[in-house]
Structure 1
Amino acid sequence: MEKKIPKLTVQLLAAIAMTLALVMIVENYFSIRISDTLQVQFTFIPNTILGAIAGPVWAAVFAAISDPVFVLFSGQTVLFTWILIEAVSAFIYGWFFYRKPLDTKNKADWLYVAGIVVLIQVVISFIMTPIALHFHFGTPWIALYSSRFIKAIFEIPLRIVVTMLVLPSLQKIPELARLMGIK
């Protein structure tokens, strides 16, 4: 596990802060609300970067700390379950993408990313989020899952392609590669 916890340096803290700022911008300005219980968010991009540079533990810690701050800026109410969901998501991204070099030409890397995207969809979109929505708002299970299955058909391939375009490109930048534990 120690290989998965990078030392907190000033450079790493600055990169984490920039990534969290990007999460806030993407969440507030690039989210598409389909219904009260379903929205399409592109926060997976900065969350993936956060996990890749901070590792699972720090990504989860900073996601858990930042989520209430973001919610307060948006004027919504803070719910512990959303903090937990963000932390678990960041942990998964960090566990699988920290110290993991990716190459767009390598089919095994595409399968690796596909597996992680499916894992995150199952854990976050099909287990944790519906449970939270059902118990907090009383939303019927059928309404939660029927829309999520349709959304997943489009979202999974999009997340795979975007992740494989973004992470390998960022890994070519020497400073970011060092932060990601690759060089």
Structure 2
Amino acid sequence: MNKKINTYSLTTMGLLIAMIIILTNYLSVETQFLRVSFEFIPQAILGMLFGPFWAGISSVVADIIGTTLFGKAGFFIGFTLNAFIAGVLYGLFFYKKEITFKNTFICVLLNTIIISLFLTPLWLSIMYKVPFFNIGLWIPRIIKSVAMLFIQTGSIMFFGKSLPLKTLTSRYMVKK
């Protein structure tokens, strides 16, 4: 990858990484097996502004820093992979593209299926030695996923439409 990052891009990425860390660690509701937070908003903005690669890398940096400084459990590489996949998906769906309901809903649905309903339960079952198909793990997760599907779609649509993306994209464009 032979792309150079300018100062504006690096500063913006740093601010969005800090927002992810704060939203994940301080402004979330969390149990051992379930977390509701709004870190998807800065992740989606990273995807809109910088594309899949840099959104994925920034999400990984946020996960590693957040876990190192404020982690409630030990570091687990699976959740870092989740962060990377989420950033890449947001970049694939939103970078240099119009924010439409269809694109947003499909992106959130894929994130929900891949991360919330497959990978996260897999990592939790590995970490805590709980059977993958434990009903106690799945009922709250499915309820949360259905509710968050609509909350995430609406929030991303709101921020995607309210941000002056064309101006920001030209200003923070990653140069070749």
Counterpart mapping for 1:67-86 below 5 A: 67-76=63-72, 77-86=74-83
Q: Is the partner of 2:35 in helix, strand or coil?
A: strand
Unmatched 5+ stretches in structure 1: 103-108
Counterpart mapping for 1:62-141 below 5 A: 62-76=58-72, 77-102=74-99, 109-140=100-131, 141=133
* Number of matched pairs: 170
1:62, CA displacement in angstroms?
Answer: 2.2
Counterpart mapping for 1:141-156 below 5 A: 141=133, 142-156=135-149
2:13 corresponds in structure 1 to: 16
**Mapped pair 1:37 → 2:33:** yes
Counterpart mapping for 1:151-170 below 5 A: 151-170=144-163
Q: Is the partner of 1:100 in helix, strand or coil?
A: coil
Q: Is the partner of 1:37 in helix, strand or coil?
A: coil
1:6, CA displacement in angstroms?
Answer: 6.0
Instruction: Measure, in 2, the Cα distance between the counterparts of 1:21 and 1:114.
Output: 26
Could you state the TM-score of these two structures normalised by the residue count of structure 1? 0.85
Identical aligned pairs, as a percentage? 28
1:180, CA displacement in angstroms?
Answer: 6.4
Q: CA RMSD in A?
A: 2.0
Task: Report if aligned partners of 2:49, 2:165 keep a CA contact under 8 Å in 1.
Answer: no
Task: Report if aligned partners of 2:121, 2:137 keep a CA contact under 8 Å in 1.
Answer: yes
